[in-house]
Structure 1
Amino acid sequence: MDADINFYFDPVCPFSWMTSKWVRQVQKQRDYTVDWRFISLRLINAQVGYDAHFPPEYEAGHTTGLRLLRVAARARAEHGREVIAPLYAAFGAHIFDTAPNPADKRTEVEMRKFCGTREFAEPILAEAGLPLGLAEALDDASWDLEIQQETDEALSLTGKDVGTPIIHFEPPAGFAFFGPVISRLPRDDAAAELWDHVVGLARFAGFAELKRSLREPPQLAAFGVDADTDGKQEH
């Protein structure tokens, strides 16, 4: 598929989800085509000891991400690349844009594991207009080779010491970058302006990194914080 943007995502990464929503804003304004591709945090960290390097919920979350990517890989193989945009949108809406139910007493680890089950995936497949049988891929590790290849492809564009998402602009010869990591959506009238600033930096071959570690939590309902695009928080 020839696209203006290749966007590599892991469905359990909140920052990837936030950035993807911003890219969709820009896509509508600039009429970009986007190829939604795969990058697995679980495969990136395959050789890392989770107990030593991450909080306890990370392994469960990253494993769920891989399981959902297996479903996406099978959906793409059987129904075409165009189904990934609505499928990822449905994954993200249910994982991140749905507020926690106060009556749900499951732990965070249990909730992250639940998102990798057929009970979670099948209604989302139905919402995306896809067969429920695709959920059988959750446990089918034969898709991992394809996901690994796409993960390696993404990291070859930026170097390995990054996370998700990775955006490749004007592929195959264009430039790529990790992020940008944003915690809230810009207003619609500012979305394309922000895009132009990011692309302007990334287009310069000598640019490597711009970072600050002080950041607000993602303004997403799943984290108990929602915000409009002006940044007014609602708890």
Structure 2
Amino acid sequence: MEETDVDFWFDPSCPYTWVTARWLTEVARVRPITLRYQVMSLSVLNEHLEVDPEGDTGGYLWMPVRVCAAVERHHGQDGLRRFFTAYGARVHEHGDWDFGTALTEAGLPAELAAAASDESYDAAVRASHERGISLVGKHIGTPIIAAQGTAFFGPVISKAPRGEAAGRLWDGALLVAATPGFHELKGIPHQPPDLT
């Protein structure tokens, strides 16, 4: 089976995106994919709305994406993957939003936490966000996956499948997304993320 490049746009604050990221990590164990992390932002996505569906009136959600942009700028894809993995586990599994600790756990300089309040990273966040959104349209959210010439939102899952079940979901998602004219597929009402 030929190696597949997969671009994964994520906002690190979204718990469902974290579950999708855990699923993709599992997919990489059972399918020949090369996973590349790309930053997107719920703040950018929702900035034109009168009411922010995330309830982030203080702009806090800008902070983690700025740190992600700084990590990628200074430490590349591997650094971004390591930071998102450490930060995602701290935030979504333990409720700890400490950038510095996550950076240290990822083997990165804790000083990069200062990027959280550095608006000079906003242009990089916006550019990456736009690359992802341009593939699927502004009517969706996080995450976005692009692979094998197609792109799609999601899958939004409450629990990450493991092993071959993760691979089957991957195969099915690609098959459905690549179908000409495909637009949307929804399941039962969502359940809270199962982060175990």
- Please report how far the alpha carbon of residue 18 of structure 1 lies from its aligned counterpart in structure 2 after TM superposition: 0.5
Counterpart among 148, 151, 158 of residue 126 in structure 2: 148
Return the index of the structure with the highest Cα Rg.
1
- Please report how far the alpha carbon of residue 75 of structure 1 lies from its aligned counterpart in structure 2 after TM superposition: 1.4
Counterpart among 151, 155, 158 of residue 183 in structure 1: 158
Decide whether the 8 Å contact of 1:18 with 1:185 is kept in 2: yes
Matched with 2:25 is: 24
Give the direction of change, closer, same or farther, for the CA distance of 1:21–1:141 in structure 2 (3 Å limit).
same
Helix, strand or coil: the match of 1:80? helix
Matched with 2:99 is: 121
Helix, strand or coil: the match of 2:55? helix
Counterpart among 156, 176, 185 of residue 201 in structure 1: 176
- The aligned amino acid for 2:56 is E
CA root-mean-square deviation: 1.8
Q: Normalising by structure 2, what TM-score?
A: 0.91
- Please report how far the alpha carbon of residue 63 of structure 1 lies from its aligned counterpart in structure 2 after TM superposition: 3.3
Matched with 1:47 is: 48
| Structure 2: tracts of 5 or more residues without a match | none
Distance 2:117 2:15 in 1: 23
- Please report how far the alpha carbon of residue 31 of structure 1 lies from its aligned counterpart in structure 2 after TM superposition: 3.2
- The aligned amino acid for 1:148 is R
Matched with 1:157 is: 135
Percent identical across equivalent pairs?
A: 37
Decide whether the 8 Å contact of 2:82 with 2:106 is kept in 1: yes
Q: Which runs of 4+ in 1 moved over 6 A?
A: none
Count the aligned residue pairs: 193
Q: Normalising by structure 1, what TM-score?
A: 0.77
- Please report how far the alpha carbon of residue 149 of structure 1 lies from its aligned counterpart in structure 2 after TM superposition: 1.0
| Structure 1: tracts of 5 or more residues without a match | 101-113, 221-225, 227-235
Q: Deviations over 1:25-82 (max 9, x none)?
A: 00111231111001100011112233xx53xx6306x933321111111111112221
- Please report how far the alpha carbon of residue 213 of structure 1 lies from its aligned counterpart in structure 2 after TM superposition: 5.4
- Please report how far the alpha carbon of residue 214 of structure 1 lies from its aligned counterpart in structure 2 after TM superposition: 1.5
